[in-house]
């Protein structure tokens, strides 16, 4: 079953076009990463899905309903980001009580255990927490609510590396035990690539890629060797990224090679390797020319 | 996939409860203001004729009324601000259920404020008795004239709810238009005075007098309920497309 259907959706803020004619479907019970460079419209897209802002044109459906001002969508969705606000007078314990009343699938025991593990005292008021601790608190609400559609917009902002690892592990464990549709955006794609099933890559106001992590990785290949050996490939239109340190070159290219061609490359001393999801993402969204290296050349 | 099918009434009642919990501090402020008003209005004896040994104890609930009106007005502004808007959307809501629950919250808060205001008079009379062994003369005691007491309560409740909604609609307007909202608002009020000055049409004073001069409780109630309905609908209309967690 499809949980989110997006057809020809366009969204602008005044004269600035954020998303243009985007289309995709997200299936039930998948963990999808929303990735893209800063300011490409990841948050805007997720806010439209949560019904927080309206689409300008096109059709967006969540649980077969228009999410804007929709009580069914709101009842089955939780949106976690670092701008969540809670009443200043309420403690963590009070907020968990409210969550229990509002979210049908809320697991209060899990929320309490996670907050104890994270060192959050139940009598603490969230507004006095540090940025990292506040992000942990928000993440706990996201996990424990077990909403059929759970949206995390850069949930690890402010968390240190250890806590981020714990969060991803907790999310994965709970997702396996209680499958649901999860959207997760993060700048640390290298940290979440083993977690994600699908990736939705937004670039230049459109969806550049939507598919499995493996499909994304298989689109590219990395060749490493001396400039002399890679000279034939460097001028190819398939080159996505080129890095040169002295005479040693690293090329990230579109993968159009056959196994026989790889064998020839290896015999010629060219090192062939698969790209990580992060490299594939950088390759798709970065510039082959005019990159940061050119600033120093 | 099993989806939660919520009922509007359930969500609204959960939100009202959440808002009552979240704004508990606001009620503490109301209690503080009423105690302050009590201190300010504490009956003192004034000697008006020394030869006949006549003294006057005057009891007035004006401070209680003023504080209650100010409390409801600023509570209305507070309730419709951006933070409260985002707080509600942390849980289950739509823009409409948010407004509806806010309205019920305002009804409850106005009810409590009006009860406190109306009870200020018997409290002061009791304090006077305890202090001076005299009970001030008043046509409005709940035992002697329960209907008058009831009218007093209804009037206070409707006025307080009206001021609550006025504060709410002003803040909704500001929220919709951002920083320019305040400028627009001042311009609108200023233009009403200009209309008065140039064309001699006292719109504001006519509007205020329409409520103040009304002698029939039924017509007064109709006018206030009508005004509340118009203002509240305006507030819903203004914010029905408003973004949540606007960056």
Handedness of CA A201, A206, A210, A214 (dihedral sign): negative
Handedness of CA A118, A123, A126, A127 (dihedral sign): negative
Confidence (pLDDT) at B148? 82
Confidence (pLDDT) at B48? 64
Confidence (pLDDT) at A110? 97
Does A85 touch chain B if contact means CB atoms closer than 8 Å?
Answer: yes
Per-residue confidence band for B247, with pLDDT thresholds at 50, 70 and 90 = low
Confidence (pLDDT) at B50? 63
Percent over 70 (pLDDT), chain B:
91
Report the largest interatomic distance among the alpha carbons of chain B, rounded to a whole angstrom. 90
Would you state the structure tokens that stand for residue A269, as one six-digit string? 């001393």
Domain-wise residue ranges, chain B: 8-42+55-177+214-239
Nearest CB among B8, B83, B243 relative to A52 is that of B243
* Position B224 pLDDT exceeds 80: yes
> Which residues of chain B have a CB within 8 Å of the CB of A89?
22-25
Output the DSSP codes for A231-247: HHHHT-TTEEEEEEETT
Interchain contact, A51 vs B94, CB within 8 Å: yes
Confidence (pLDDT) at A274? 87
Output the DSSP codes for A57-118: EEEEEETTB--TT-HHHHHTEEEE-TT----TT--HHHHHHHHHHH-TT--HHHHHHHHHHT
* Position A187 pLDDT exceeds 80: no
Confidence (pLDDT) at B140? 58
Nearest CB among B14, B87, B94 relative to A85 is that of B87
Confidence (pLDDT) at B204? 78
Confidence (pLDDT) at A159? 93
Would you state the structure tokens that stand for residue B117, as one six-digit string? 């205001």
Output the DSSP codes for B48-112: EETTTTEEEE----HHHHHHHHHHHHHHHHHHTSHHHHHHHTTSS--HHHHHHHHHHHHHHHHHH
* Position A202 pLDDT exceeds 80: yes
ipTM above 0.90, yes or no: no
Interchain contact, B247 vs A43, CB within 8 Å: yes
Would you state the structure tokens that stand for residue B193, as one six-digit string? 């005075």
* Position A67 pLDDT exceeds 70: yes
Per-residue confidence band for B141, with pLDDT thresholds at 50, 70 and 90 = low
**Range in B19-33, B180-194, B228-242 the model is least confident about:** B180-194
**Range in A241-250, A263-272, B162-171 the model is least confident about:** A241-250
When pLDDT is averaged across residues A229-250 and rounded to a whole number, the result is 85
- Integer Cα distance of B233 and B84 in angstroms: 19
Confidence (pLDDT) at B234? 92
Would you state the structure tokens that stand for residue A261, as one six-digit string? 């061609």
Average pLDDT, rounded, for chain A: 91
- Integer Cα distance of A36 and A187 in angstroms: 8
* Position A288 pLDDT exceeds 60: no
Confidence (pLDDT) at A9? 96
DSSP label at residue A286: S
> Which residues of chain B have a CB within 8 Å of the CB of A90?
21-22
Does A269 touch chain B if contact means CB atoms closer than 8 Å?
Answer: no
Confidence (pLDDT) at A59? 97
Average pLDDT, rounded, for chain B: 87
Whole-model pTM: value is 0.87
Confidence (pLDDT) at B143? 67
* Position B155 pLDDT exceeds 80: yes
* Position B52 pLDDT exceeds 70: no
Confidence (pLDDT) at B139? 58
pLDDT for A129-163, tens place per residue? 999 999 999 999 999 999 999 999 999 999 999 99
In chain B, DSSP assigns E strands to 45-49, 54-57
Residues 6 or more apart from A217 whose CB is under 8 A from it? A274, A275, A276, A277, A280
- Integer Cα distance of B193 and B200 in angstroms: 9
Q: Closest-CA residue in chain A for B5? A: A72
- Integer Cα distance of B88 and B103 in angstroms: 14
When pLDDT is averaged across residues A92-120 and rounded to a whole number, the result is 96
Higher pLDDT, B52 or A278: A278
Confidence (pLDDT) at B197? 77
Interface test with A, best of B14, B94, B97, B237 (most A CBs within 10 A): B94
When pLDDT is averaged across residues A58-71 and rounded to a whole number, the result is 96
Query: In this structure, are residues A169 and A141 in contact, taking their beta carbons and an 8 Å threshold?
Result: no
> Residue A42: enclosing H or E segment and its boundaries?
helix A42-50
pLDDT for B78-116, tens place per residue? 999 999 999 999 999 999 999 999 999 999 999 999 999
Alpha carbon of A101: minimum distance to chain B alpha carbons (Å):
7
Residues 87-106 of chain A with CB under 8 A from chain B are 87, 89-90, 94, 98-99, 101-104
Query: In this structure, are residues A195 and A225 in contact, taking their beta carbons and an 8 Å threshold?
Result: no
Confidence (pLDDT) at B180? 74
């Amino acid at each position: 079953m499809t949980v989110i259907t997006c057809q020809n959706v366009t969204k602008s803020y005044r004269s600035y076009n954020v998303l243009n004619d985007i289309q995709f479907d997200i299936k039930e019970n998948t963990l999808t990463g929303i990735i893209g460079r800063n300011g490409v419209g990841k948050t805007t897209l997720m806010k439209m899905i949560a019904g927080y802002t309206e689409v300008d044109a096109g059709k967006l459906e969540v649980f077969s309903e228009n999410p804007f001002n929709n009580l069914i969508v709101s009842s089955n969705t939780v949106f976690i980001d670092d701008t969540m606000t809670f009443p200043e007078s309420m403690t963590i314990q009070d907020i968990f009580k409210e969550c229990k009343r509002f979210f049908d699938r809320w697991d209060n025991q899990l929320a309490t255990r996670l907050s104890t593990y994270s060192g959050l005292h139940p009598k603490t008021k969230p507004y006095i927490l540090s940025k990292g601790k506040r992000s942990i608190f928000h993440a706990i609400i996201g996990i424990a609510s077990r909403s059929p559609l759970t949206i995390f917009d850069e949930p690890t902002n402010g968390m240190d590396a250890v806590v981020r690892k714990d969060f991803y592990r907790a999310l994965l464990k709970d997702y396996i035990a209680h499958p649901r549709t999860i959207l997760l955006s993060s700048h640390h794609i290298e940290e979440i690539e083993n977690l994600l099933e699908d990736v939705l890559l937004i670039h230049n106001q459109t969806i550049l890629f939507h598919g499995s992590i493996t499909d994304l990785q298989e689109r590219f290949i990395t060749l490493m060797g001396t400039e002399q050996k890679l000279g034939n490939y460097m001028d190819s239109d398939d080159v996505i990224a080129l890095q040169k340190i002295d005479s040693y070159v690293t090329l990230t290219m579109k993968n159009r090679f056959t196994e026989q061609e790889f064998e020839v490359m290896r015999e010629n001393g060219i090192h062939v390797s698969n790209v990580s999801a992060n490299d594939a993402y950088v390759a798709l969204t970065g510039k082959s020319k005019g990159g940061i290296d050119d600033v120093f050349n | 996939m099993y989806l939660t099918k919520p009922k509007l009434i359930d969500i609204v009642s959960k939100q009202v409860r959440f808002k009552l919990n979240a704004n508990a501090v606001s009620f503490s402020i109301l209690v503080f203001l009423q105690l302050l008003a009590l201190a300010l209005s504490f009956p003192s004896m004034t000697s008006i004729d020394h030869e006949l040994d006549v003294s006057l104890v005057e009891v007035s609930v004006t401070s209680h009324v003023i504080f209650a009106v100010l409390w409801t007005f600023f509570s209305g502004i507070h309730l419709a601000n951006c933070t409260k808007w985002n707080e509600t959307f942390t849980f289950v809501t739509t823009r409409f259920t948010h407004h509806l629950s806010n309205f019920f919250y305002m009804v409850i808060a106005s009810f409590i404020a009006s009860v406190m205001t109306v009870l200020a008079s018997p409290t002061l009379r009791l304090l006077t008795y305890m202090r001076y062994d005299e009970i001030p003369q008043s046509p409005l005691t709940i035992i002697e004239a329960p209907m008058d007491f009831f009218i007093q309560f209804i009037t206070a409740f409707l006025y307080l709810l009206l001021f609550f909604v006025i504060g709410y609609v002003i803040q909704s307007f500001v929220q919709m238009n951002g920083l320019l909202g305040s400028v627009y608002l001042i311009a609108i009020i200023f233009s009403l005075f200009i209309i008065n000055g140039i064309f001699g049409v006292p719109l504001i004073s006519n509007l205020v007098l329409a409520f103040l001069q009304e002698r029939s409780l039924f017509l007064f109630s109709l006018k206030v309920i009508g005004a509340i309905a118009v203002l509240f609908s305006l507030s819903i209309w203004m914010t029905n497309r408003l973004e949540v967690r606007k960056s």
